[in-house]
Chains A and B, each alone.
Chain A
Amino acid sequence: MLNKKRGRESAEIDGSSLADIAFLLLIFFLVVTTIDVDTGIGLVLPPIPDDVEPPPVRERNLMNILVNAQGMVLINEQPAAVASVRERVKEFIDNNGADPNLSESPDDAIVSIKTDRRTPYNVYIDMLDEVMGAYAELRHQESMDRFGVPFSSLEQGSERRAEVQEAYPKKISIAEPDEG
Chain B
Amino acid sequence: MPDVVFMLLIFFMVTTVLREVELQVQIDYADAENIEKIEQKRLVSYIYIGPERLGGNRVGETKVQIDDALVEDVNAIRNIMYDKLMEQPRLIVSLRVDEDSEFGIITDVQQELRHAGTLRINYSTRREI
Interface residues of A (CB under 8 A from B): 15, 18-19, 22-23, 25-26, 29-30, 32-35, 37-48, 67, 115-122, 124-126, 128-129, 132-133, 136, 174, 177
Contact = CB atoms under 8 A, between A and B. Distances in A.
B35 A40 contact: yes
Output the residue of A42, A67, A120, A126 with the most chain B CB within 10 A.
A42
B5 A23 contact: yes
A22 B92 CA distance: 36
B76 interface: no
> What interface size band does chain B fall in?
35 or more
A116 B126 CA distance: 24
A45 B119 contact: yes
B57 interface: no
Interface of B: 1-2, 5-6, 8-9, 12-13, 15-18, 20, 30-38, 41, 44, 92, 94-95, 97-104, 106-107, 110-111, 113-115, 117, 119-128
A32 B20 CA distance: 10
A40 B122 contact: yes
B102 A29 contact: no
B38 A47 contact: no
B31 to A, nearest CB: 8
A125 B34 contact: no
A42 B103 contact: no
Nearest to B46: A38
A38 B17 contact: no
Contacts of B35: 39-41
Nearest to B105: A117
Given A40-B94, A42-B122, A122-B99, 15 more contacts: A22-B6, A22-B9, A26-B5, A29-B13, A33-B15, A37-B37, A40-B36, A40-B125, A43-B123, A47-B119, A119-B103, A121-B98, A121-B100, A128-B32, A132-B34
A123 to B, nearest CB: 9
A177 B110 CA distance: 10
B107 A117 contact: yes
15 contacts: A19-B2, A29-B13, A40-B124, A42-B120, A45-B120, A45-B121, A46-B119, A48-B114, A48-B115, A120-B102, A121-B97, A124-B103, A125-B125, A132-B34, A177-B107
B16 A29 contact: yes
